[in-house]
Structure formats: structure tokens, C-alpha cells
Structure 1
Amino acid sequence: MITTATVLVAGATGDLGRRIVRELLRHDTLVRVLTRPGTGTAHGMYGGDDRVEVHEVAYTDRAGLASALSGVDTVISAVSGARPVIVDAQRALLAAAVAAGVARFIPSDYSADYRRITPGSNRNFELRRELAADLDAAPIRVTSVLNGAFADMLTGQAPMILFKRHRVLFWSSPDQILDFTTKDDVARIVALAALDANAPRVVEIAGDRVTARSIAGTMTELTKTPFSLQWAGTTGTLAAMSRIGRYLSKDKDQAFPAWQGMQYFVSMFNGEAELQHINNDRYGPHDWTSVRDVLDVHLKETTDGH
């Protein structure tokens, strides 16, 4: 492992980015936070920590990026968005990292396996695949972290569990394996990968592997109320619905519109994005947070009225 590394985190004020910075600071690490000029959020968040430097730089400012990246060992991107962010901003960050002689780059993937999906089936995955071609051609060591979907989304953001109706939705098959990892577990692995000079091109992790059927069983056990499976159609039907939603969408650069969520479920339930080479033990044994753990906490908080 690298000791006293300097790691730059782009997107450090976001939900995942904050968690990554927290994990990095558990190690002998100096952190630089890259933030857009004028927001002030990063200074409010990290201003009191002498191990964190805040650099306000626009991605179009090549000289500013070069200065922020000078002396950095690893760049971690945790930016979130559509093409202007995932492709354009990260390309600028990659070019600056190469120019500054940065050794390693971790792009903002943090998703299911986008490499095998059918072209045209998932916009956000295809943006990652497009950037991956640039990353593979660049003279820099790259590590992508693939983790399935964020388990945290099962508590409401991903409308798969209908809590009040005691149903669990599925498309095509209730027995398709689904990979889920919490944001905290992803952040821990990203930090460790950033400090691992021998990290491979891709690190695949899954905090839990479940099916719609097993989730229904878990919900039944946790609530003492029967949760049943509900067929919501085929993945082909869902793909068609997402295409219609995308066509009718007014904001083409929104990061997670409803139709993109549909595309994510298509990629998961048709098996194309299922992780094939999971290595949860690369950084030693760890108590991974299961889907059951996430749902148990959510149900208790909901019951308590929080």
C-alpha cells in the first residue's frame, strides 16, 4: 500500500464523494478536493481539516487543473451527471492528470457492469463505456470500481419494493441475480484501491447478491407481513417504456430521470450488467452491509417516525 499518498477527489461534496474523503482520511493520506468555483460548499465541509486542501477550479481551466493536480499520486472522480460531466469533465480531468504526471486514475463508474450491455439500452452505462475507451488509451494506470446498484436505493429511490402494498416488483424473472452494495462499502473500497499501487483495471465488489424472490422473503421476515412478488412485465416491455420516456423527456442532460431508472432495471433484470468476477476479499475480510441490513434499518426508522 502507498503511504502518505496525496489523493485528489473530484466531486467530493456529493453523497458518495463525501464518504470517499472520509475513508481516505482513515489512512495516512493528504486529500485535495476539486470543486467548481464560487459554490463555497467544499470550504464549509472541509475547511477545518488540515489534511484537506480545497481547490476551486473549472474543468475548462487547464492551467488551474494542472496546478491542482501537481504532486498528486491518484485522482478519484466521484462526479455525477450526464454527458457534460461523465464524458466532458472527466476527459478534461484525465488530460490534466496525464499532463501533471499523476500515476493513477479512478473514474466515476460505481455501477453494474456496463461493458456487456446492448448498445442503445442504457445511456448512463454507455457514457461510462465511451469514457473507458479514452481511459484505456491514456498513459496512466486506471482502476474502475464496479459494485452493482447502490443498496441504499432500495429504501425508496428505486421503486422495486412497494412497502405499503407489500409487493416486490420484478421484470421477466424473479430469480435473476441482482448485485447491490451500500455507498459506505463502495467508498471504503475506492479509498483502498486509490492506495493500492497494484490495483487491477477493474475491481468488482458486491455487498450482497439477491433476487426479487429473496427480497420478498426478507421483507416478509422483517415485517412479519407477507410480501408477494408482482410481475411488472418483461425487460423488453420496460425497455420500450424507457425509450418512450426518453423521447418525451424535456431535460436531456438530467442525470437520473425516470426513464434512466427504467434502463438500469432493464440492464440488471436481463442479466447483461451482472458482475462476473467479484473479488470482495481483495482488501481482506470485511463485514459487508447486506440488503437485509439496509432494509432493517429503514423499516425501524420508518416505524419510529423518523
Structure 2
Amino acid sequence: MVMILVCGATGDLGGRIVQHLVDADHAVRALVRPETSADALEDLGVEIARGDLRDEASLAAALVGVDTVVTTANAISRVLAGAKDVSIASVDLTGNRNLVAAAREAGVHRFVFVSAAGVDRGMADRAPLVAAKRATERLLRDSGMEVVLARPDMFQEVWLAPASGIDPAKGTALVYGKGNTPQRYVAVEDVARLVAKLAVADDPPRIVEVGGPEQLTRNEVVAAFEAATGRRMTVRHVPRVVLAVASRLLGRPKPALASLMGMALHTDLHPGEWDDAPLRDAGIDPTPASAYIAGSVRV
């Protein structure tokens, strides 16, 4: 049986990918940092390889007998939560470089990398996180492995939530720039199902750019939350010039925060050019952003 190594398996997206692979009776091994609990993965019957993207020896051990690598691993959520022992540079840049090199050395056949929509359309110039993803994509293209680049649009669970300044419980919302540029916010669960299918497909596409089924501007998102809660929200606009200057100035001292600001600016300047066709082609009924909004509201 083909062995699939999932990196980032304890995160939301990675954990869902693991669940779908296990449900389809695939053999899964998860790379889990030594200090992180793997109980939920072990309960699924997943093989655990203790290691870290920054530890090259642990990667070599984790990749023994692996045919396919799937990685969603990133540092931004931990950095924004206050972690001092990780960074975008050490995980998303150097860590992914280590993983690509180790996978190539181990003879891995397929490498599925969860990147970001817009990675090759200027977003990388504004967001250190996306710049790291672009660098990883370039390494993979020259790796000799069969590479699948999954590029999802903005996740509903991140960009339609308090993490990005929309808090229906408090009745507050941040609008980046003018807020009139439509995006196709996509559900984490939909992307997880798609990536799991790409990992085991006979002949998957090499690049998959995917968004949700609905186009909504940031202002329309706020209006949808107001309609769902039945009350007006206190809206604060962050001007484009503030986003531009802050993303530049914070690039080195606070790259995670700079990434959020850079991505927010990019999406206010450029509409999402991708749609939900990859989801529908894979037999996945995509979740509209409006459905997520309605389900997330607690009146």
C-alpha cells in the first residue's frame, strides 16, 4: 500500500486531509513535532513520525518508504499566537526547503504542496508568507518529483472571522482598503477534501487554483453579517496606504503581521480570478461564504 506522509497534520486543514485519507483507507503517516500531542491522529490509526521541518535528520527518518508527501505546514498561526521558537523564515522557507530536499533524496514520487492563490500575481511581493510559498514552488519545479500545487483562495474560517477583524459577537468589523473588490472565500473543509483527492489521483493537474462558489466584497461580507445578526456592526476602514506602508515596514521585524496586511492589501486591489470548478470537478459541493456566515453567527 502506498504510504502518504502529511506534514501539518495537527492543524485544521492538515487534520481534515488526514481524516479524508484515512476514511478512504489510505496508509497515512504524520510528521508531528515532539512537543505536540498526536492522540487524535493515533486514534485514527495514523502512524506517527516525531520530527520537525527544521530537523533534517528527523525528515529523513519520516520519509522512509513514503511515496507521496502532502504538506500544509506553516508558522503564521503560531507566530501570531505569540510563539517565539518558530518563524516564517525557519518553517515556511527553510523548513520547506529541507522537506523538499529530503523528499527528493528519499525517492518520493509525488509532492502535494498547499500554496496560495495569487502567489504568482504579485501577492508574494507584499507578504513574506506568500513569498516563502513562491520560493517553495520554485524549488519543487526543479525537484524532479511529480508536483501538485494546490492554491486556495482566502479561507472563510480565517478571513470571515475574528482573526481577520470580523467579530459578530462584538459587532465589529475591519474593512481593508475600499472593500469593493470581490473575492471567492473558500471553506477549509472543501480544500481538505480536494487536496486528499489530489494526493491519490491517477493523473492530477500540476496547478490547481480554487476559490469558493460566491464572489463577495469585504463590504458585502459585513452586510451579510449584519443581515444574519439583525444588527449594525461598527466598521473601521484601514486605508490602502496604511496597509502598504505597514506591510513594508513590518516585513523584517514582524513578517507574520506584515503578511496579513500585505494579503489584505492585495485582495483589495485585485479580484480573485479563480472559481470553484476544481471542487465541482472533484465531486465536491462547495460551501458558499454566505452559508459560512449564517452558520457562524450566534444571535
Q: TM-score range by the shorter chain?
A: 0.7 to 0.9
Paired residue secondary structure (1:114): coil
Corresponding residue number in structure 2 for 1:46:
41
Code of the residue aligned with 1:71 in structure 2: it is G
Judge which range, 193-202 or 154-163, deviates more: 154-163
Deviation at 1:195, TM superposition (A): 1.0
1:112–1:228 CA distance, 2 compared to 1 (3 A): farther
> Sequence identity, in percent?
26
Gaps of 5+ in 1: none
1:211 is aligned to 217
Q: Does the CA contact (< 8 Å) of 2:183 and 2:217 recur in 1?
A: yes
Rate the CA distance shift 1:60–1:278 in 2: closer, same or farther, 3 A: same
Matches within 5 A, 1:72-151: 72-81=66-75, 82-109=88-115, 111-117=116-122, 120-151=125-156
Query: Is 1:263 the counterpart of 2:268 in the alignment?
Result: no
The separation in 2 between residues aligned to 1:23 and 1:106, in whole angstroms, is: 15
Q: Which residue of 1 aligns with 2:188?
A: 183
SS for the counterpart of 1:209 is coil
TM-score by length of 2: 0.84
Number of aligned residue pairs: give it. 284
CA RMSD of aligned residues (A): 2.6
- The 3 A distance-change label for structure 1 pair 85 and 296 is same
Q: Which of the numbers 153, 157, 167 marks the counterpart of 2:163?
A: 157
Question: Who is 1:283 aligned against?
Answer: 282
CA distance, structure 2, for counterparts of residue 290 and residue 275 of structure 1: 17
Does structure 1 conserve the Cα–Cα contact (< 8 Å) formed by 2:165 and 2:173? Answer: no
TM-score (norm: length of structure 1)? 0.82
Distance in 1, Cα, partners of 2:100 & 2:124? 25
Amino acid aligned to 1:33: A
* Structure 1 CA distance for aligned equivalents of residues 70 and 62 of structure 2: 13
Moved over 6 A (4+): none
Larger radius of gyration: 1
Deviation of 1:190 (Å): 1.0
Q: CA deviation at 1:244?
A: 3.4
Report what 2:293 is aligned to: 295
Q: Go from structure 1 to structure 2 and tell me whether the alpha carbon gap of 1:27 and 1:122 turns closer, same or farther (over 3 Å shift).
A: same
Instruction: Please list the CA deviations of residues 115-174 of structure 1 after superposition, one character each: whole Å capped at 9, or x if unmatched.
Output: 1116642111111111111111110011111111110121210015676456562413x3
Distance 1:19 1:118 in 2: 26
Name the amino acid aligned to 1:270.
L
Question: Which secondary structure does the structure 1 equivalent of 2:185 belong to?
Answer: strand
Matches within 5 A, 1:169-248: 169-172=175-178, 174-207=179-212, 208-226=214-232, 231-233=237-239, 235-246=240-251
1:33 is aligned to: 30
Partners of 1:5 and 1:28 within 8 A in 2: no
SS of 2:9's equivalent? coil
Letter in 2 for 1:94: V
